[in-house]
Amino acid sequence: MIDATHDPKLTSWVANANDHADFPVQNLPLGLFSPANEAPRPGTAIGDHIIEWQALVAAGLRLDSPTMEAVLATPALRKSVRQQLSNLLSDPQYREAAEPYLHAAADCTLHLPTRIGDYTDFYAGIHHAVTVGKLFRPDNPLLPNYKHVPIGYHGRASSIRPSGAPVIRPKGQTKAPDAEAPSFGPSKRLDFELELGIWIGPGNDLGQPIDIAQAADHIAGYCLLNDWSARDFQAWEYQPLGPFLAKNFMTTISPWIITPEALAPFRLAQAPRPEGDPKPLPYLWDAADQAAGALKLSLEVLIETAGMRAQNLPPFALSRSEARHMYWTPSQLLTHHASNGCNLQTGDLLGTGTISGPAPDSAGSLLELSEGGKKPVTLPSNETRSFLEDGDALILRAYAEADGFVRIGFGDCRGRILPAG
């Protein structure tokens, strides 16, 4: 719901938060950070700074200091923390008490915001699914189940890292089409995937599905997610059980949880399905979710190569897409995940799958942008890329804008490729 925390006239006594591209006082994301040589603690990004939640106690706004796990698991507490942080950071009377708990973000380390118990990646970007399908099955790009059931696979939570962590080129087994036998070595077709992450708030008991009408209550927030992919491994190993070592070597996420409350002004109706597409089965259908379950988010992917850095060139925008291109809503993904009684837990993470748009320059992976490597992308440095090379850095960004409201963003989701070990 829209409330006083979304007021576009609201400003903060943290001056650089006002008109900040990502973290104005209307955003107030949740995260875990540590100042130099100090222990991690929960905090919130405000402009170019981070405020410890302990500042709420110092200012007398709370009797206790909530943990991240408690806030994610309890929607009422999450909303209360947002309201009190909004008061703390916008009312000058709290400045003196709160300033000792304010840290320059550049001087801090950002961590994963909570322990991730399990990670599942979906395939909800239909333009990505069609384009990739055409590369391998020109006459039948989408398999028959795609428009009936949200497709997904279980990933590896242990290899998820926050923005900025290096990405070591993986080694694995591949088989060239003209080779008699497979070989083992560094991936030659390393790729990115532009996705959103969905953080689970309250979980469900084993054997108890989550009704689609209540699914949104189980979402604690969102982040950006880069599902790094070794396409050469994937082509050899994925049949018959799907992705494995091509995916689980590394996943990068933006470290701030952007809450449903922050995104309340930026909801959209789910795009109507094309004529002839099947209506979802009743367990996946809710009128309210269809009316406002999609997200109004602009997404972009930038690349920065070693050659570009040597020439002092800024990062180059490889792609721009929008979250509205998802074929399934976040609530539909969550409901389907729990529909067989699977117990989701607080801190679990769901990936949406690659969110590509319909235009060539809105593709969410190099596999699509280069048409499987056949048409390399030319960069401002006169370099070309079919797939990622050592030294390349990828930056994912997302922001939400709507008339009458202040723009908010997600912060960077960044990773640089290092040579195979």
Residues assigned a catalytic role = 128
Residue 300 in marked binding region: no
State both tokens at 287. 């009128």
Residue 247 in marked binding region: yes
Residue 131 in marked binding region: no
Residue 114 in marked binding region: no
From CA 201, how far away is CA 197, in angstroms rounded?
13
Residue 101 in marked binding region: no
Residue 121 in marked binding region: yes
Residue 123 in marked binding region: yes
Residue 94 in marked binding region: no
Residue 193 in marked binding region: yes
Residue 283 in marked binding region: no
Residue 354 in marked binding region: yes
Binding site membership: which residues? 121, 123, 137, 193, 195, 227, 234, 238, 247, 251, 354
Binding residue ranges for Ca(2+): 121, 193, 195, 227
Residues annotated as binding site for substrate?
123, 137, 234, 238, 354
